[in-house]
Amino acid sequence: MTVCGIVNDLRDESDGDYHVILLLDNAYANLVNSANDQYQHGDLIVEMICVRPVTQQEAVSACQGYTNQIPVPPLDYHNCIRSVSARLGS
């Protein structure tokens, strides 16, 4: 799956991940749901795993021996993100 949009925010998480907060282009607007509207101002969260050092003890083993080499996009950057896995809805 590929989505495109503007990077609205970046969140450095204690589990070593970055959350890229993406304001989707109109063509992908159907991918957000009421939870995105209520909690993320209509944006989609894209999780980049194992980017930063892990400080959350229970997450250390998940990134053991792996460091993500994908560059973190800058704020306000128009980006297309491709994923091999996606969880839609809940």
Q: Are 30 and 3 in contact (CB under 8 A)?
A: no
Q: What is the pLDDT along the chain (90 residues), one digit of tens a residue?
A: 889 999 999 999 999 999 999 999 999 999 999 998 899 999 999 999 999 899 999 999 999 988 888 899 999 999 998 875 655 554
E strands, the chain, are 2-12, 18-24, 44-48, 78-82
Domain boundaries, the chain: 2-82
**Running DSSP on this structure, what letter comes out for residue 6?**
E
Six token digits for residue 62: 């998940």
- Residue 56 C-alpha from the chain's centroid: 18
**Residues paired with residue 52 on neighbouring β-strands, in sequence order:** none
